[in-house]
Amino acid sequence: MNQSVIEKAQELAKVISLSPEYITMRATEDAANQEQELTALFDEYNALRAEVEKLSMEKEPDFEQIGDASRQLETVQEQIKAQPMYIALQGARKQFSGMMAQVNAELSAVLNPGGVSGAGCGGNCAGCSGCN
């Protein structure tokens, strides 16, 4: 493997880790992990999801029980989505993902100069399974 490529990748990773988008996302994740109400809702969500999976795997599933547990799961999911810290976390992750999409588009543009600008696809489908 070309060591200079690895070194440049490490440099890029360091620059990304110092970006405001990354720093904000990590700080928001840390804050969300400290938010007791949000973590309790996630714990409840995970327990309900495991229950739905368990009920679904039974030899003779009780569809009424599965339906009840699924509705509870949806309720908890809506409660999670309404939490201000969760909303902030989703926003921070979206900002970071947007930055990373730009980074990937730049890499793609250099590696595939004949490709479609900004689309991330060069139009040459040989060996690609991305659209299927």
CATH of the domain at 75: 1.20.1500.10
- State the residue range of the domain holding 87: 20-111
pLDDT value at residue 90: 97
Is 33 inside a domain boundary? yes
Is 14 inside a domain boundary? no
What are the start-end ranges of the E strands in the chain? none
pLDDT value at residue 118: 47
**Comparing C-alpha atoms, which of 103, 108, 89 is closest to residue 16?**
103
Is 107 inside a domain boundary? yes
Distance CA 97, CA 80 (A): 21
In our burial notation (b when 16+ CB lie closer than 10 A, e otherwise), range 48-85 reads beebbeebeeeeeeeeeebeebbebbeebeeebeebeb
pLDDT value at residue 113: 81
Report the number of distinct structural domains present in the chain.
1
Is 54 inside a domain boundary? yes
Is 65 inside a domain boundary? yes
CB-CB contact of 131 with 57 (8 Å)? no
Is 40 inside a domain boundary? yes
List the chain pLDDT tens, one digit each, 132 residues: 799 999 999 999 999 999 999 999 999 999 999 999 999 999 999 999 999 999 999 999 999 999 999 999 999 999 999 999 999 999 999 999 999 999 999 999 998 887 654 455 555 565 565 554
pLDDT value at residue 114: 74
pTM for the predicted model, two decimal places: 0.75
Is 37 inside a domain boundary? yes
Is 78 inside a domain boundary? yes
Distance CA 15, CA 115 (A): 26
* Packing angle of the helix pair 84-111, 3-17 (nearest 10 deg): 150
